[in-house]
Amino acid sequence: MLVARIVVVTLAMLALPASAFAPPREVSGALDFSGIDEAANEAVASGEVPGVVVLVGRGDDVLLHRAYGSRRLLPQPAPMTLDTIFDLASLTKPFGTTLAVMSLVERGAIKLDAPLGRYLKEFRDKQLDEITIRRLLTHSAGLAAYPANSMVSAGFPSAAGAIVKMPLDYPPGSSTPEQSAPEPTPSDRC
């Protein structure tokens, strides 16, 4: 539940421009959230997002809870509601994974720069010592970006065993294939 809240709050924050994050001013004894209203309405009006739900809290107190724009555009527009459920799709993977891994790091259960083989026996090979938790999280471990579905469909641990048998796309810790492409020369840019 906490992870879902963090993801939703983060997504709402991503939809808003930096001006929305100015601390609210007190106006006549009440907090002024006009910056958030302005930013949310601007994001919707610009077409960046169809709608936004903003929830601002302090401790157990809800200071602001508003909906802007539409929750659906087709087949007929429907207004955003305070209880709209958002499909986070693939965003749950990086957020959930990052939160889980960093929680383990904080507890001392894993180390970001430790070889993956310390935690997964399938990766206990001297040639794979440069594949670390940090490199997995930053996509610089050298592993193939998209292993075949047949390799991973059986789940863990057979997927880990199949992935470890694949050749690396690039040496762990070096730049990714996209980053290692040569810089275009002036004649290439024409």
Phi-psi region of 45 (alpha: psi -120 to 50; beta: other; left: phi over 0): alpha
Find the catalytic residue in 90, 150, 180, 187: 90
Assess whether 150 carries a catalytic annotation: no
**Token pair recorded at residue 186:** 């002036």
Q: Are strands 61-72 and 78-79 parallel, antiparallel or unpaired?
A: antiparallel
Kindly give the parts of the chain with pLDDT less than 50: 1-15, 18-19, 180-190
Compute the distance between CA of residue 74 and CA of residue 32 in angstroms, rounded to an integer: 34
On whether the CB atoms of residues 68 and 41 are closer than 8 A, the answer is yes
